[in-house]
Amino acid sequence: MRVLLLDLDSTRPDHLGCYGYHRDTSPNIDRICEEGVRFTNYYTSDAPCAPSRSALMSGQLGIHNGLVGHGGTAGDVRHDGPKRDFSDRLALESLPSFLDQAGLKPVLISPFAQRHGTWNFYAGFREMHNTGKAGIESAEEVTPEVLKWLEHNAQEDNWFLYVNYWDPHTPYRAPEEFGNPFENDPLPEWITEEVLEEHKKKVGPHSASEINMYDNKQNPDFPRSPGEIKDMAGLRQMIDGYDCGVRWMDENLGKVFKSLEDLGIMEETIIIITGDHGENMGELGIYGEHGTADHATCNIPMIIRWPGVTKPGHVDDELHYHLDLNPTLAEIFNRAPAPGWDGQSYAPALKGETGSGRDYLVVSQCAHVCQRSVRFDDWLYIRTYHDGYHLFDKEMLFNIKDDPHEVQNVAKENPHICKEAVYRLNEWHEEMMHTSSSDVDPLWTGMREGGPFHAKGNLPRYIQHLERTGREYAVEELKQRHPNEFK
């Protein structure tokens, strides 16, 4: 058995052709999708990068493994503590460790562990290749490593190759010579000039007026990534930059797929295409970032092509966490899932069957803001504990079916839906804490240590930027919400 897992950083499903995007961004991914199963309501349990991948690799939600942020105590996976055995839990229960025990050699091509100092990401891999630029790699720097490994190892049986591509992650960096295949394509219809004007009034890191987080500077080394969006031309630069990253990555994936064909193993290789999180492209007024617990950030692609198992062309609309992959593989391999995993198998969905989804999901974000959200029925309810200087309402409610880009917060009009969401959130939290190895919720650890990593300590200089750019109207409320920033 041969398995290729492609982890495509910051790739949002609705910017892929096979998910209905109007631009031709992903012909090679689309071809794989035609032969496999596509999941539409697939979410990371914990965003962004480090929490998401740690949840997948550990098989545990962030509230259980302890890693929910990008710094501080909650930026590391919890130690096993006094009950630690000769080896720790990850030596047996990480996804690579599990696959190794199942007879698959786990191999990694990624710089991710070094990028965030999340060394637990390596647990269980027998072979690791660091592509050397901490996530600033462009696809043409990753693909040769993949092709070289396949050339030397593809004919061996029983391997699991995990590969990271980074091109849809800011800064957008498709090579200049690639050009812009989308320069004449229309922009997404939902971002009208009127919507953009409203976005320009919003404040917070990665808003339209400060895409560079706390200012509007643009790095000349990355001309596809603007520092701010002033008009529809600037919006086009932003959207085109992201889509070029997706298309450039897809063209490189085409080279990988061709290598599998040339080596004669394409029809024997299981291909899993997914990501760690999406990317806000205007949702909640945020551009080029994955800093919230909303649909744009947390909804991720999942395409599984498993010759002889998956039903070609099947679409699964049920709710799943990304870490549900682990028990799904266990069921197909006819092995018991690891006892510490939080996932729920959806193996029947690969054959086109229904009924393996969850009733609701709770997703968390504690790196840019502190939020937990409940995804159920057609609804996404977002509860904000620290707004990351965005001045978000404490409660936000969106009908994802009718309003997938989260334009209209309908919380005030639907108090009964909000109450139902809060009930589900409380039920989830109670169950998680009852089954945790710690009596501490790591989200609250992050709050006690000053708030989300990418926000804390930055408000004074951000206020100076707001005053320089004529948006003093937001300063007083920011000071009222975050008085501790000025002590």
Q: Are strands 360-365 and 46-47 parallel, antiparallel or unpaired?
A: parallel
Give the phi and the psi of residue 266 in degrees, each rounded to 5. -60, -45
> What is the maximal distance between C-alpha atoms in the chain?
65
pLDDT of residue 484: 87
Distance CA 199, CA 178 (A): 30
Tokens of 361: 């999901």
Other CB atoms within 10 A of residue 221 CB: 8
Q: Are 26 and 181 in contact (CB under 8 A)?
A: no
Is 142:106 a contact under the CB 8 Å cutoff? Answer: no
Residue 303's H or E segment, with its range, is strand 302-305
Strand partners, 160: 3, 106
- For residue 90, the 8-state DSSP code is H
pLDDT single digits (tens) 432-474: 999 999 999 999 999 999 999 999 999 999 999 999 988 899 9
CB–CB of 369/388 below 8 Å? yes
> Cα angle vertex 289, ends 288, 295, to 5°?
110
d(CA 370, CA 442): 11
Helix and strand totals (H; E) in the chain: 16, 15
Confidence at residue 423, expressed as pLDDT on a 0 to 100 scale: 98
In this prediction, residue 277 carries a pLDDT of 98
Pairing of strands 314-321, 37-43: parallel
Instruction: State the residue for tokens 């080896």.
Output: 87
DSSP letter for each residue of 111-130: -HHHHHT-GGGGTT-SEEE-
Nearest to 209 by CA among 465, 474, 461, 456: 465
* Gap between the Cα atoms of 301 and 323, Å rounded: 13
What pLDDT sits at residue 486?
79
Q: 367-376 as b/e, with b when 16 or more CB fall inside 10 Å? A: bbbbbbbbbb
Q: How far apart are CA 95 and CA 58, in angstroms?
A: 6
325-343 as b/e: b if 16+ CB within 10 A: bbbbbbbebeeebbebbbb
**Per the structure block, which two tokens stand in for 148?**
């070289």
What is the C-alpha to C-alpha distance for residues 156 and 150, in angstroms, rounded to an integer? 10
- In the predicted model, residues of the chain with pLDDT beneath 50 are none
Residue 291, C-beta contacts closer than 8 angstroms, at least 6 positions apart: 48, 205, 206, 280, 297, 365, 367, 368, 369, 388, 454
Domain range annotation of the chain: 2-358, 457-487
**Residue 2, strand partner residues:** 159, 269
For residue 485, the model assigns a pLDDT of 85
> CA–CA separation, 332 vs 99, rounded Å?
12
Q: Provide the H-helix boundaries in 12-157.
A: 27-34, 49-58, 62-65, 90-93, 95-101, 112-116, 139-153
Q: Are 224 and 237 in contact (CB under 8 A)?
A: yes
Average pLDDT over all residues of the chain: 97
Peptide bond preceding 48 in cis form (omega within 30 of 0): yes
Domain 2-358: which CATH class?
Answer: alpha beta
Instruction: Please state whether the peptide bond connecting residue 171 to the residue before it is cis, i.e. omega within 30 degrees of 0.
Output: yes
CA distance 42 to 20: 16
Give 26-36 pLDDT, tens digit per residue: 999 999 999 99
Q: Residue 225: helix, strand or coil by DSSP? A: coil
* pTM above threshold 0.95: yes
Instruction: Tell how far CA 83 is from the center of its chain.
Output: 32
What is the per-residue pLDDT across 236-265, written as a single tens digit (0 to 9) for each? 999 999 999 999 999 999 999 999 999 999
Name residue, tokens 């620290």. 386
